[in-house]
Every structure is written in structure tokens, then in C-alpha cells.
Structure 1
Amino acid sequence: MADRNPESASQDAVLQEICNISFDELSRRSKPVDIMSSATPERYRLLDCTEAVSNRTLRILEFAGFPRVNYAALSYVWRGNHPVNDGMLSRREFSILGAEDADPIGLDILSDACAASLACGASGLWLDRLCIMQTSKQDKRWQIREMYRVYAFATVCVVAPGGLRFLASFNQETHWIYRGWTLQEVVAPPAVAVIFAWTHGAGEVEAEVGGETISGRIEVVAPGTSAMMGLADTLGVCSAGGFEFTPDGADEGATPLRIKAGLFGEPPTGSLPGATQTNVSGIRLPHVAALSFATARNLDTDEMRDFCIWQCALVRTSSRPVDMIFSIMGILGVMLDPSQFAADDRLGATIALAREVLRQGRSASWLGLSANLPPCPYLSTFPAFPRTSVATRATYDLPSGGQQLVMLTDAIYPNDIGLFLPIKGSMDEAGYHSFGALAIRVVATPAATTILSADSIYDDARRPTQFRAVGGSTWNICPEEAIPDDESQMPQSFASVICSDARLLQRHTGRDYRQQHPCDACDRAR
């Protein structure tokens, strides 16, 4: 394996080889692969890509210090796409002790991932299922804290959207973009490549998105079976719904191949109550556009980048609720101790993350995330926490019963956030966020006495005295001199502009306020 810094190679010499099994033996094994007896907790591990590609051997190396070799990190989903027919599976696959709930690892895909890594200049591959001791809580907790570092210092992240059992093709929709951990895995590294099933060879790609032409290139990984393309270009062609492909060596004037691109989703039919914004931009796949924003390298401020991360995280899911915070803490510049939180303690981890972000003097970039999701009843400066699952997409409970998919119907470009002053402040251990913001007292208006027409938001756009909230309720704006002195008139409500949205706040106790659904946050809001 090539060393990044030959002069320091002795400092990070391979501690030991902890696994060396041929692919033939792996395909015949009836028992899962177990590295527990040979691995040491709290160590770094990498697969040897050259051995996998050239000698068809699974060789895992363990390092005493952080590896100084060029390596790739793999991004995938534990439970990927199901094959259309059993003929798509080679049956050359194996499982890992402690991760039997995940799909088996296909040997052909493992070889392709290693080949893609080598093509990108990486001689090692980090694959969580093989590089983390799956039955060791000690190693898992340590590895979670190191996860951001592992991806941030990788030469490239290789994305296998369909999982590790077989490669998905461009016309197959996958759930990779909805998984919690995959966000950090593509935001942290300096480069990201997507690997997919492909039979058309190398060539040039063109697509039209929003009236603009995007160009990319597909490179072959394994001739006749697989190829790869950069993440930005892959997101672009998926936003377009398809692309034109011209293979290398095609005759001049040859008609390009038209390829459908549904790898990261298809446009929804009809609007859904769980949508997080109203689409005014015409973006075809908002969740894809949101990831494009989050992975852009040209964002001007931390606030812009952080908002994009929160926007993407909102529609994602994981097997453990707490992982929805652990999976983004590194890219938000925070390191929490996983041992301090139970698997379902998303609330506690969210408060801890938000407190540390604010303590660092950074802005509350999660404010203004959603205009349609109700506020969290326990932490109302955040939207309601969706239900999470490793096998399904994020949902939230409807007030009338049942559940609804959480979806973006529009993606907010972070420059829009830059038009407003960032909100900072502090948060206490209970989750109450203290910050200053302009607000005005408002009083609910009975529907029978409203002066608004059915299609009006304000009675007077320049000097409104009455307005209608997103949910349809109407409110009178109280002039300062009209505010009663009697504090017993509870609950008191205020309207405030937080980031780019109007928010409706209701006094809870003393100086504590909570956001109301659906116009929703001020002075001290939980």
C-alpha cells in the first residue's frame, strides 16, 4: 500500500495483518467472517485494494496510528436494493459477525469498489462493516468519534447507492440519499465518486437542468459491468431525470444514447402534508438539489454550509435515532461522546449538539428549517423529529393519526439565508435557546370576525393590522400602546421573523416561549 509520507512510514507501520482470506474461500464459508480474535479495539483498519483486485483476496490491515497511506472510504446502505431477479446475484458473497442484519457483501462489488479506489489513487479502502469490530461496543463508540476524521482524510469516497449485494444501474431508484450516515460520508471528503452498473464503456455525459447544460464523464471500473462518475455530475443528471451519453470513439454526428437517471429518486406525484417547504423554484428533486448545495465547495460562510447540512439531515433516517446526531456532528464541528447517550436519545444528543454549536459562537443554523412540519413538542426551535428506521424512509405522526413521509418540496439555496443576520445565543441543559429578536404582540382572531379575504395574507401589505398564518388561523397585530399590563392574560403570543420565516411564539412560563404550529420562535424559545 502506497504511503502518503514515506519519511514518516515508520511512525505508522502496520501493526498486524488481521485477516487474509481468498475470495473463493469466502464464497464457500457458511459462517460469518469474524475479526474479533485478531483485532484490537480502538485501532484503524483498511482493506488492501491491490490484494482484492489482483489476487482476489480479502486482506485487512490494522494500524496503531492514523493511516498515512492513500485510502478511499466506502459509502453505502446496509440494506440495499433487492434484485429484480435472482439471476442478478452471483451468490459469491459473505456476511460479517455482528452485522448479520445487513445485506451480505458481494465479492464482485467489493472488487469493483477496490478497483475504483485504485483508479482514484487510493491503495486502501475503509469499509465500516469490515473495519469496525461489530461485536465490540468499545470499538464501535471509538470508531463513531473517529468517523468524520476517517472520511475527511480519505483521498476519495466511493458511493455504492444500491448497497453491497449488487450494483444498481442509473434507472434504479435507491434509498442511499435518505440514510443518515451517508450525508457526512460525502460532505467530509475532498472528492466523491459514484459507482454503478454500466455496460456502455467510457464517454461523455450531457444533461439539461434549469435551462443550463451540465457536462460530465463516465469512467469504466470493470469493463462490461461497472463504471463511476463524480457525485456532483451524478446529482446533476438525476435532477434532470436523464442524460445523453456519447461513448469514446463514437463517429462524429452519432446520435447519443439517452439514459434515464433515477438513481437518487423520482419526482413525487402530488403534494404531501409532510413536505417541508413550498416549491417556488421549480427544482425537480429538492432532496437531490439540497445535497448538491451541501457538497458545494464554493459556499461563502459556515452558516450557509451548516444550514445545508441541517436541510439534508431533515429527510434522512437511521436504525438508531441517536445516530441522526452522531452522523452529522463531525461536519458541524462538534464531537460528542457516544457513551453518554442511549440509542433512542435523539433529544438529548440534539440539545448537546446545539449547545456546543452555540458555545463555539456559531449561529443556530437549524432555525427556519421547516414551515410545514410541526415544531418538536420537547424542543420547539427544531421541527418534529421524524420516525427513523434502517429499512424505510423518515416519517412523522399526523395530528389526525397515521404517518406521512417527510419530504422536501423545495430546496433553499444558502445564499437566501445569507440575506438575514445569523441568530446565535446560548442554550441551557433543558433545551431553552436564549437569543434576541424583534417581535410584536399578536392576538388570535375568531374566524367570524376576520377582515381578510379568502386569498389574502395581510389586510394591508405595507402596514398590516391582521394576518393569516400558514395553517389558516388569523391574528391581530397589537400596537405597543394596546398591550395590556395584566400579565394574567395567558397565553401571550408574539410574531417574530427568524431567519427567513415568520414565526408564531407563545409564552410558556415567565420568559420562556415555545413555537406554535404552523407559523412558529423569540427571546427565549424552546
Structure 2
Amino acid sequence: MTPGRFRFIVCSAFLDNQLFRVVEYDALPAAPYAAVSYPWSGLEAFDTPSNSFFRLPLEGGQISDPISLEVLRTACLAARHDDTDLLWVDQICIRQTSAQDKDWQISNMFDLYDRCRMCLVLPGGLQRLASPGEETNWIERSWTLQEAMPASTHVLFAWELRCGRLSETLTTGYIQEIETGRSAMMELGKLLQAAYVGPLGWRDQHVRVRLFGPNPEPILALMGAKEARVQEMREMAVWRSALLRTCSHPRDMILSIMGIFGVKLDASSYQRGDREKAAADLAFEMLRSGRNASWLGAAPASPNLSSVCSMPAFPVVDGREVYYTVDGCKRKPWEVMGSNLVWYVEPLATTSMPERGAGRLHITAKSLTVKVQDLKSDGKPAWGGFYFAASLILDEGPERGQTVKINLSASVAEGGYRAVVVGTSYVVDMESIIGWVGNRGLRDDC
């Protein structure tokens, strides 16, 4: 295998001739292809005589978990249902023992998923198919976030029941049969909906969906990232979803989402632990391209990064456990992020960073009307008991509750701002810009 090439499994050779054939391309092929999304450490296989597995060498002399030929066969059948003969599976199509090839593939991975005809989600991994009622860790992994973004993303699962259109009131969608009595697939968005609000099924038959785990927060964040109609809301949901996930190497949290924001960083420029450096570069490139600072407000109650003070800090990852340390105690990410339903912040008028890697956010706005209201006054969503009617830039009106227009040109930097509460208003030192609001009120650590 030549480093820096796209590789695909040829499904027809595998299905029709039992031949495992991998082809290489200098660029993404014009022919349609399917890409597989799965967790590397998935469900363990059932101990049955018919199972056939193989393993692949990994970096550092390690060996991959078993890969089931039966699972690959089912994935190829699903691709064939969509008139696709090429299948991409990262463990097979990336040279796992070549750091050069892995970095090149990482830098181009968003494009690969973005251009696929269909993304096939195998939430149980490559050892066996999961059934809808089984819990998996697919939604917990950082890389599966960008893999879930293609419009045509379907979940492949073990299924013995009827197929066809659902007739439940709360859930909609169509279960497409792949192998009779063995497997089926369904659109990811519809399956997320079923996991969040109700079961799959019909009047006489119901199946509870647990594929995405017991916690609704990651499900809702991914639904927002895929389905929200407003770009700023989608992008903020992407940040929120990313902060709920884990990865083996810290830098991968940023490299796994950069493409969603239209940014391509060179993976070889970062050591595996360089998460904050990669985050600062991603923020700089996003703002330089004209995008909004969508990370603001994604986790309003979480701590801030030391190097990019406007960006929420990343949780600690210890194996599969993800947490923040608050007052010496471990807290789950969603416990310090604020409400699971409130992510949206009005776009700021002009936002930039003076230089790459500085981590200093410059915001310029003219005559922005801002009002702080008590939650009970209009029943709108609240952060920390307050609703902000516009962008989170507050007045310095001399009278309590007064709404004023301000001309603002300021920066977020270390030492940031000073703020005090006066009744229902905030008075902000106008030498600097406001931080973001969490359950503890205005921050002074930005």
C-alpha cells in the first residue's frame, strides 16, 4: 500500500467471488462508495462455529480486535442495496502501521465522509451487529461525530422482526431489510429520534432503542448537530457533542471535527497530546474564513481553556470515563454544561483573532441593544436564571433594568473584565468584553 492514497474494499469481489480485494486511488473516486462508522472497541462476538474473524497489525506492534467477515459481508450487502460497489473501513483502508499514511488520512477524512453516497453506522463495532435494544459506545467516540454528518447516514443492526414503515405516533421512518431475519438498516436521524422520544414499532410490536446509551444528552446534541436549521445552532451543537465524547489521543478531538467547520489542519503538525494548540488553530481558521465563534455558549457553565480563554475546557478522559473536576469532585460533562436544550447564542457582529495561536478573541459590534430579563417575565429558556434577548453583550446602564445601546470594540484576554450585579442588570467594565454566563453567573477568569 502506497502512503497517501484512498483505498476501498470491492464489494462485488467479496460477495460474488469470496475474494478480498482492496483498490487504491490517488483522489476520491468518481464512482459511488459507502463509508463505515463504528467504534474500534465494540461488542464482543457471540461464540458460534460459523463466525470467521481476522486481525490486523497496528502501530507499536499491537493487534486489532477481531474483525468479522460476516459483518463485512452484511456491510457490503447494505452498500449494494444503494448501488454502491466500494466500501471504506478505516482499519482496513488505512495503513495502521504507517504514521505518515495515518496523518494524511486524518487530514482528508472529512472529505471522504462528506462525499460518500452513504455512511453505514455499525454501532456494535466489527465483531458483530448490535440489536436496537443493546447499548453501545458508538456515540461516545470523537471520530464518529463527523462520520454521522453525511445526509445519507444509515444504522445497520441485527433485526429479526418485520420491516417497512413504522406506525408509532412519536417515531417515524422506514426499516429496510438487508438480510431476511438477520439484519436491517434505518436512517440515523430517525433512529436517534426513536431513542430520544419513543420506541420503534407498530401497534402490536415495540422495540426500545438503546444503541446510543442511556443518557439523553449525547443523543440530543447529535440531533442538533445533524438537524438544526440554523447554521450557528448546528455548529454550537457540534461543539457540545464533541465535549461529550472520548478519543485515544487528545489532538483527535479537534482533528475529528475540523472538517465540519470547513477547516483542514495538517495532522502531522501536532503531537498526539497537542489538543489545545490544535484548538487554537481551529478557532483562528474558523474566524478567518468568516465563521462565527460557535464554541461560545456550547458549554456555558464549564471551565475555560487556559490557552484559548473564550473556549470551554475539554473534559478529562480516563479510559471510557469523561469528566470535569469541579471543587475537587468529578462531574459529568452535561452536569457542568448547563441546560441540554439551550445552546443557541445570537451570532456576534464581528469576531476575529489577531494572530494564529494567540487564543485572543477580538469582538467588534456597533449599537447592539441588549436587555437582561428575569426568566419569569416571558418564560423563555434560561441560563443560570436569566434570558439574554440578544447576543450575550450586556449594558452598562446607570439604572437597574435599563436597556441601552453601546458601541463596543474590545478583546477577551487574560484578566478580561470586571462585572458586578446591580439588581437585574449587569454593569460591565467597558474596557473589555463580557465573558459567557453559566450557573455561577458571569465569569471573571477569561
Give the TM-score normalised by the residue count of structure 1.
0.69
2:302 to 366, 370, 373: 373
Cα deviation for residue 521 of structure 1 reads 6.6
- Distance between the aligned counterparts of 1:64 and 1:131, measured in 2? 13
Equivalent pair of 1:183/1:328 in contact (CA under 8 Å): yes
Amino acid in the other structure paired with 1:97: P
The answer to whether the aligner puts 1:333 opposite 2:262 as a matched pair is yes
Aligned residue runs from structure 1 range 13-24, under 5 A: none
Q: What is the CA–CA distance in structure 1 between the aligned matches of 2:120 and 2:67, rounded to whole Å?
A: 15
Q: Which has the larger radius of gyration?
A: 1
Q: Which of residues 145, 158, 178 is equivalent to 1:183?
A: 145
Residue 94 of structure 1 aligns with an amino acid whose one-letter code is: F
Measured after TM superposition, the shift of residue 200 of structure 1 is: 1.4
Matched with 1:153 is 115
Distance change in 2, residues 1:492/1:70 (3 Å):
closer
Letter in 1 for 2:419: F
Superposed counterparts of 1:119-518, under 5 Å: 119-187=81-149, 189-208=150-169, 213-245=170-202, 256-267=204-215, 285-296=216-227, 299-300=229-230, 302-388=231-317, 391-402=319-330, 404=332, 406=334, 410-412=339-341, 416-417=344-345, 420-422=346-348, 424-427=350-353, 428=355, 429-436=357-364, 493-494=418-419, 518=440
1:102-157 Cα distance to aligned partner (Å, 9 max, x none): 42211111111111111112110011111111111111111111101111110000
Amino acid at match of 1:321: P
Amino acid at match of 2:221: A
1:478 & 1:292 partners in 2: Cα distance?
37
Change over 3 Å in CA distance of 1:393–1:163 after alignment to 2: farther
SS at match of 1:215: coil
Answer yes or no: is the 8 Å Cα contact 2:95–2:101 preserved in 1.
Answer: yes
> Matches of 1:396 and 1:503 in 2, distance apart?
28
Q: Give the C-alpha shift of residue 242 in structure 1.
A: 1.5
Identical aligned residues as a percent: 33
Whether the 8 Å contact between 1:199 and 1:223 is mirrored in structure 2 is: yes
Q: Could you tell me whether the CA contact under 8 Å between 2:301 and 2:338 is conserved in 1?
A: no
Aligned residues: 407
**Match status 1:87 vs 2:12:** no
Tell me what 2:407 maps to.
none
SS in structure 2 at match of 1:74: strand
Q: Which runs of 5+ in 1 are unaligned?
A: 1-38, 246-254, 268-284, 440-456, 463-467, 471-476, 482-489, 497-501
Where 1:206 maps in the other structure, the secondary structure is coil
Could you tell me how far apart the structure 2 residues matched to 1:45 and 1:504 are? 58
Structure 2 contact 417–434 (Cα < 8 Å) conserved: no
Rate the CA distance shift 1:122–1:344 in 2: closer, same or farther, 3 A.
same
2:78 is aligned to 116
* Structure 1 residue 403 displacement after superposition: 5.4
Kept in 2, the 8 Å contact 1:169–1:197? The answer is yes
Q: Could you report, residue by residue, the CA deviation over 1:377-417 in whole angstroms, capped at 9, with x for unpaired residues?
A: 4433122211235x514222232244545467754477x54
Q: Deviations over 1:455-507 (max 9, x none)?
A: xx97x989xxxxx967xxxxxx98659xxxxxxxx9962269xxxxx999899
Pick which of 379-388 and 107-116 moved more: 379-388
Aligned residue type for 1:376: L
> Quick one: which amino acid aligns to residue 387 of structure 1?
V
How far is the alpha carbon of 1:227 from its aligned partner? 0.9
* Distance in 2 separating the partners of 1:377 and 1:519: 19
Structure 2 match to 1:473: none
1:519 aligns with 2:420: no
RMSD: 3.6
Range with greater deviation from structure 2 (103-112 or 347-356): 103-112
Residue by residue over 1:64-119, the C-alpha shift from the partner in whole angstroms, topping out at 9 and shown as x without a partner, is 33211110000000001245xx4368541111111645422111111111111111
1:320–1:388 CA contact under 8 A, matched in 2: no
SS, match of residue 168 in structure 1: coil
Q: Any idea what SS the aligned residue of 1:87 has?
A: coil
Q: Is the 8 A contact 2:280 2:307 kept in 1?
A: no
**C-alpha spacing 1:505/1:243, structure 2 compared with 1 (3 Å):** farther
Amino acid at match of 2:57: L
- Take 1:436 and 1:319, find their aligned partners in 2: how far apart are those partners? 38
Check the 8 A contact 1:373/1:383 in 2, yes or no.
Answer: yes
Give ranges in structure 2 of 5+ residues lacking alignment: 386-394, 400-414
- 1:293 aligns to what SS in structure 2? helix
Q: Following the alignment from structure 1 to structure 2, what is the Cα–Cα distance between the partners of residues 153 and 137?
A: 24
Is 1:54 aligned with 2:16? yes
Q: What amino acid is the match of 2:250? A: P
Q: What is the Cα deviation at residue 56 of structure 1?
A: 2.6
Once residues 400 and 193 of structure 1 are traced to their aligned partners in structure 2, the CA distance between those partners, rounded to angstroms, is 41
User: Could you tell me which amino acid in structure 2 is paired with residue 324 of structure 1?
Assistant: M
Residue 411 of structure 2: aligned partner: none
* 1:325 partner letter: I
Change (3 A) 1:377 1:232: same
CA contact (8 A) 2:137 2:212 kept: yes
Q: In structure 2, do the counterparts of structure 1 residues 479 and 403 end up closer, same or farther at CA, with 3 Å as the change threshold?
A: closer
